[in-house]
């Protein structure tokens, strides 16, 4: 049993991996949806604290301004990483979230890959190649969930 945070750039596959884990019966929370963030874009600390108090086995994903303040509350922090062109291709093709489709937003993503991803990498305990299949990525996270 473990608490796992999955982080990474938009298009890295976080939501897709969480969906696969949920189908396998794991408790998952995608903080991009469901009101987990406050208007300033940070996690709702009391709500996140309650989630973590209620679940010893949970996978959370998201990239918010204050996620680093929560790293010590997780047993593993997984960074999903993929090359910029892969991220942009995925963003252009997704239907559940329009972010990243405009040229301006694509430029933001490129900037985040250069400036934010290295910060996420420093806080990660595990880095996974987001180009691997969803099944392989879900297997890797599931192994973390069941590790002693």
Question: What pLDDT does residue 137 have?
Answer: 97
For residues 84 and 76, what is the distance between their CA atoms, to the nearest angstrom? 24
Is the pLDDT at 79 greater than 90, yes or no?
yes
pLDDT tens, position by position, 95-124: 666 666 677 878 888 888 898 899 889 999
Question: What pLDDT does residue 102 have?
Answer: 74
Predicted TM-score of the model (pTM)? 0.89
What angle, rounded to 10 degrees, do the helices at 14-23 and 134-146 form?
70
pLDDT tens, position by position, 6-56: 999 888 889 899 999 999 999 999 998 888 999 998 999 999 999 999 999
Per DSSP, the residues of 32-74 read TSSS-B-TTSSB-HHHHHHHHHH-SSEEEE---TTGGGGGGGS
């Amino acid at each position: 049993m473990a608490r796992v945070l999955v982080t990474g750039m938009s298009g890295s596959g976080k939501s897709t991996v969480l969906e696969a884990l949920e189908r396998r019966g794991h408790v998952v929370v995608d903080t991009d949806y469901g009101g987990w963030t406050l208007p300033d874009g940070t996690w709702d600390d009391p709500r996140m604290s309650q989630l973590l108090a209620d679940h010893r086995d949970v996978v959370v994903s998201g990239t918010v301004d204050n996620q680093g303040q929560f790293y010590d509350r997780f047993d593993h922090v997984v960074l999903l990483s993929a090359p910029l062109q892969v991220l942009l291709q995925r963003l252009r093709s997704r239907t559940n979230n329009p972010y990243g489709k405009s040229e301006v937003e694509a430029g933001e993503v490129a900037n985040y890959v250069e400036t934010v991803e290295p910060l996420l990498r420093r806080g990660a305990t595990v880095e996974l190649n987001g180009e691997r299949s969803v099944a392989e990525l879900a297997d890797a996270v599931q192994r973390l969930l069941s590790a002693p």
